[in-house]
Each structure stands twice: as C-alpha cells, then as structure tokens.
Structure 1
C-alpha cells in the first residue's frame, strides 16, 4: 500500500508532527511506501525525512502563501498564524498552495490511501478535492478546540469531516466527542491511541540517586500549559535550595507571556533553568537524568511527553487530562510512577478561573511532594515498568489490524 500523509503545519515541531513522523517510521518498518505533504517556513530546512519518503513541502512566507505557518494551537513553538485571525483571502491562499502539491503528489506518487492530521480546514479541503481515493484523518484534540473557539469556515469543516472514510481518535472520550460534534456515524470513528520511539526514549541501566531531585517540564512556554502555576507551586515545597533543580524545555511565540514567566521564575527560591527548544535526542537524555516529569497543562490531546518520559524512567505528575488515565492503563497507573492532579474549573477551553488557581497550585505542590517522598523512601524512580504496548510500532500494528477495514473501503 502507498500512503500519503498530509498536515498543514511543520512536521517536526509539535506533538501532532511528532505523531505523524512516528507513524511514518512504523509504517516504513511494516513495508508501506509513503509520501508527505506538510507546511514549512521558507527559512526551514527541507530535509525533513529520509530518502525513502517522498516529500512535497508547502512553503509559507512565500509569494504563494504570504504568512506564517498556521498553528493548531494559539501558542506555537514557532512564529505562527492563528486560525482565528485568518480572512477569506488567507484561506484561499492556503487551499491554492496545498492544492498544487496535492495534485503533484497524486500524479507522481499515486497513493492508495491518504492520512490527514487534524479534523480541520485542510483535511476538509482534501476530502472536498479528492473523490476517488479513500481519505482518513487522525484527531489530535487541538482541532476540536479550534472548532469550539471560533467560527472560521465552521460549516464547511463540519460538512466535509463527516464525509471522511474513517476518523481515528486518541482515546475513547475523544471518540465520543467527535461523534457528537460532527454527528458522524460511530462505526467510522475508531480509537487508535498514541505512541513513542523506543529507540529514542528508553531507560538507562544506571540508577538515579536521591542526592538531589531533577524536575523537568517540556512543552510550550505558556500560561495555558500551566507553567506559571508550576513555578508558583514550588513556593510550597520545603527543601534546601540545592536539593531541587527544575528544567523548563521549550519555547513560545507569545514573547510577553514568555517574559512574564521567566521573570516569575527568577524570583523563585529554587534553581529554574530555561533550556529552550531541544532535539529529541537531547530531550531523551534529559529525561534519563530527571527524577520527575511534570505536565501541569490545562488542555492537551494525548501528550506524547508523558509516555516518552515514563519510557525514560521518570516518575510523572500530570493534570488529569481527558483520556490520559485510560490510555496509560491500570498497570502503570497503579505502579506508583504516575500521579494525576484534578484540573481547575475552566471559563473557556484551556483557561481556568483565576480563583481556582491557588487550590490547583497547592495540589500540584502536594503531588510533587508525595512523588519526591516516594522516590526517596521507596526508590520508585528506579522501578521498571513495561512500555512495550505504547511504542509507535505497536500503534502501527494496531492500525495495521484495522487495515482490513481500509482495504474493504479501497475495493
């Protein structure tokens, strides 16, 4: 089978891009031929994939597409265009630019199946444009947030998403949300889950000591990701200054918000290091040297960093994001390696009520305190857990089992 992957944004800078690349790697091992259409900035490196993968980049900030790469979140780790700020001309620029590469890929690569990422504008256009090839799509959560936040091309998107041949959700709760939101046939929505690269994210044989505690966050540097609350939660901890070390990995395109968070961190009693954007190799190495990974985010799809950090041996403290607990499963949930914090009440998607934050930050601090104690007293950081069912290869094998359904569609 020949598979064409399509994503509107960069293929190597966000969770959905990493997800797509993980799928590509898994399908390559299975033996499928593949090609990719994705957006990149005119200044970006175009060598995003190995020579076995056909690549058709769509270039933003060019004559044909004269604005920044669109972002499925309002805060992206690079300069981006918000969908809510787009007008009709920008939508048409986007469609025209991608149409050219889609037609080129169809003529040269001749795919049997198209996998789109995000149930949103470009996926809707692909479905409208292509009638004789089966088109499926993977929901990453942020697309649903966009639909619920503003009305850009909403009726157009809703109408064409319903016409997809199959939709894959990250977890069962999201599956039901997709069915309800799009009024789509439940038989066309399957739960797929997520995965991680076991060759990149793995635990080392050497155990970490408890002489000090490394706590790491990785993601966008934004208030919606709970980074500000994480810094405030440290004030409730009662350890020597040098015993706790905090690493903040990532960047954000809202410079004012980023600088506010850095200024708050500079006032903290503990040492907080802003490491910026790092490579996947650097991130995996950092996880292997960290005792705790913390994700205090107020909104996520199915965060890859949770399973990536677990695979590297980290204990995890995360908000109780919809679907994550079920996806992680009882064995890991009951291992003492992961703790969940109740989300504060939200006034809108990803935006908590201000008066809820104090209780949330105290709860976050208590969970960190409990996890530190379990590391010191019960050596939970060095406890082995089986992550074999969470790899990209496992995900692609699950999808391969559903290939019977896709093959029936292809007849």
Structure 2
C-alpha cells in the first residue's frame, strides 16, 4: 500500500505510522508535530523511518506555545485555523500523487478530498473525539449542572461545519473507541463506513513494586478544564481528607484552561498541581503513584489510561473515557470489574466515586487490581494495536 497520513499529533499517530512502515508499506507523513520532525535527525531502522516526514514544523512550535500559555478561546480558534491552513501548500503538491489510502485527522485537507479520491485513493477521516455536536451539548449541560455560564464551544462553528463535511465526503471514519463510533454513526448519513481501532498501551512493567501503602497516592493527568471533570475529583478528595486526614495525596498534571470555573484559592493545599510535564517526569509519577483517576466528561479514548495501566495502576474513570476499549475480550473485562483494576463511575455521584477509591485502599485488593492492570496492557500494546490497524486497512 502507498499511504498518506495527515496528522497534527504524535501521541497515537507515531505508533500507527511506525506500524505501517514495519509491514513494508510506503508511507508519507504530513504533520506539524515537533516530535515527528525531530525524528528526522535519526537513522532509519527496521522499526521506524523518518525519511518521508514532511510538513510545517514551525507551526508545531507555535502550537506548543498556544497550549503552554493561557490564551483566550478566540485566540486559540484563530491559531488553530492558521495551523490547519499551513498544510495547504503541501497538500497542493501531494494531491497530484497517487495514494492507495489517505488518512487525515478530522477536516485537515477537506478541500482536497475529492481530488485524492479521483486519483483512486480511499479517503479515511480519523476522529479521536466524540461527534462535535455531542461534545458541545454534553459540556453545555455540564456547565449548567455546576452553575457556571455555559462555556463557548471547544471547537468554533466553522470548525464543526468543516468536520461534518469531512465526515460526509470521506469513504471511512476511523474511530478510537466504540462510543466515538456510536456518537458519529448516529449523526452521519446511513451507510457510512467505519473502522474502529482502539489505542494500545506502552510495554508494561514486569511488576509494580509497592514500597509504601500507608499513604496512598492518587494521580490524575488531565488539562484543568470543565471537560475533564476535575471539579468532582476535588470534591472527592475533600471528603477523603476529612475522613482520613493525611492518608491520601492527590497530584494533578496538566495545563490550565482559560475557561472560567476554577478557583484555586479554595482548593485543598495538599493537592499538587504540577502543570505540563515531560514524559520522563510523568513516568516517575506513575511509578510512585497507586491509583489513576480520570473523571472525564467527554473523551475519545484517553491515551493516559493506557499509560497508567502499563505501570500497574488500577483505573477509576467514566463511561466516556474509552477505558474499556483497552480490554481485548469480554472475559478479561468481567475479571477486571471484579478485581477492581477497572472501575467505571459517574463522577457526579460523589458517594460512588468516593467508595471506588476506598475499595482499593486495602493492600490485598490493591495488589490483585495492579496485577490485572499489567495483564490488560500486556494483551494490548501499541504494536498490537498498530498491527490490527494495518490488517483492517489491507482489507478495505
């Protein structure tokens, strides 16, 4: 196969890119992501090659600045539009080449979908989140529930319109989880074709060393935003701290949103907000933490959950986190529910949320849950996920 992969992110795409290359296919990657472009300085191997990575790397620098600093929603809309437009000069050349498959993130390359298809390409839109209408509706409802003014949409109206048009013009939509598939299928034309390919996990630890359990370390990696359900996590921690002073610590890693609703002056002083961190520092947090909590309101499939599983952390999350899509079979899923390696909760139900943490506070229960988390990740590594995608692409 000759494949063109258009993506602004390396988090999942790097693994898919390498998987397609490993199977001997000809793949060109168009991206602004700096992680990819820095790989261009490395030598090709049997596992990966950066020879055919192209794109506006300078926009990748701008993107890092945007998400590092606390810009307004209007400025973010403006910059995202400019980043998308920076792909056009590359696409104007690439549309004249013949590809068997073009995979493009959301609406990037919308103007050229028909031209690629006329050249014989199968055009696949990759979607990593739920349908934008579903997302916006969910978050507006959540803002009202919390007594906040409904936030402006995460995506601009123009962006949403373009994404919907890309859905309709594409041959397939690639979804990371079953709930992403369901929200889009319900809102697209009948007969639309889909590929569902859940993300994988990094290679797991052989065993999680539990050096200390008198103090239990809770970890959340998420942007401080209404969408991530951080309000509920703070409420649960307050309750834990009242009933068991000094027994639990909470560390939250992630940038801070410019949207209203968070008053850090009222947050428990024992909670650590560390901002954005590099992967090596996050790995150290995974090693010393016990339980991973992600009370997200909306997600496609949270990559951090796969990372937490591979470090032996039991997961407490929500139906829209994509957690259960990491599990490869129903038998393992049932066992995971029973041994508490996976607990799916509604974050607004503070009592059940609280109880899910208490259940893992017994050392024997915790060890079983941790071992199961490692088993889940060993059965669904990124290599296996990438191979599954290549198989599915070969069949279309």
Segments of structure 1 that go 5 or more residues without pairing to the other structure are 12-16, 345-359, 407-411
- Aligned with 1:191 (options 191, 196, 216): 196
The answer to whether the 8 A contact 1:204-1:288 is kept is no
Q: How do 1:143-158 residues align onto structure 2 when only pairs under 5 Å count? A: 144-145=132-133, 151-152=157-158, 156-158=162-164
Secondary structure at 1:402 match in 2: helix
Cα deviation for residue 282 of structure 1 reads 2.5
After superposition, give the CA deviation of every residue in 1:65-116 in whole Å (9 maximum; x if it has no partner).
Answer: xx96499xxx9566678589758x995x566521212234567x86542211
Partner of 1:254: 258
Partner of 1:57: 55
Cα 1:294–1:58, aligned 2, differ >3 Å: closer, same or farther?
same
Cα deviation for residue 250 of structure 1 reads 1.4
Mean Cα deviation higher: 48-57 or 386-395: 48-57
Partner of 1:306: 305
Cα 1:83–1:68, aligned 2, differ >3 Å: closer, same or farther?
farther
The answer to whether the 8 A contact 2:219-2:292 is kept is yes
1:403 aligns with 2:396: no
Distance (whole Å) between structure 1 residues aligned to residue 95 and residue 206 of structure 2: 42
Partner of 2:289: 290
Distance (whole Å) between structure 1 residues aligned to residue 176 and residue 15 of structure 2: 14
1:224 aligns with 2:210: no
The answer to whether the 8 A contact 2:290-2:314 is kept is yes
- Aligned with 1:392 (options 372, 382, 396): 382
- RMSD over aligned CA atoms reads 3.7
After superposition, give the CA deviation of every residue in 1:157-204 in whole Å (9 maximum; x if it has no partner).
Answer: 434422212222223333232222121524x21221111221xx5354
Distance (whole Å) between structure 2 residues aligned to residue 167 and residue 124 of structure 1: 14
Cα 1:292–1:180, aligned 2, differ >3 Å: closer, same or farther?
same
Segments of structure 2 that go 5 or more residues without pairing to the other structure are 44-48, 138-152, 328-332
Q: How do 1:322-337 residues align onto structure 2 when only pairs under 5 Å count? A: 324-325=323-324, 327-328=326-327, 329-337=333-341
Cα 1:130–1:403, aligned 2, differ >3 Å: closer, same or farther?
closer
Mean Cα deviation higher: 235-244 or 220-229: 235-244
The answer to whether the 8 A contact 1:225-1:299 is kept is yes
Partner of 2:352: 363
Cα deviation for residue 293 of structure 1 reads 0.4
Partner of 1:264: 266
After superposition, give the CA deviation of every residue in 1:296-330 in whole Å (9 maximum; x if it has no partner).
Answer: 11111111212221121111111222654355333
Cα 1:128–1:143, aligned 2, differ >3 Å: closer, same or farther?
farther
Distance (whole Å) between structure 1 residues aligned to residue 115 and residue 63 of structure 2: 22
Distance (whole Å) between structure 1 residues aligned to residue 184 and residue 175 of structure 2: 8
Q: Scaled by the length of structure 1, what TM-score is found?
A: 0.74
Cα 1:99–1:86, aligned 2, differ >3 Å: closer, same or farther?
same
Partner of 1:26: 19
The answer to whether the 8 A contact 1:70-1:82 is kept is no
- Aligned with 2:123 (options 129, 135, 140): 135
Aligned residues: 361
The answer to whether the 8 A contact 1:60-1:68 is kept is yes
Distance (whole Å) between structure 2 residues aligned to residue 83 and residue 221 of structure 1: 18
Structure with greater proportional strand content: 1
Distance (whole Å) between structure 1 residues aligned to residue 384 and residue 72 of structure 2: 34
Partner of 1:350: none
Cα deviation for residue 216 of structure 1 reads 0.5
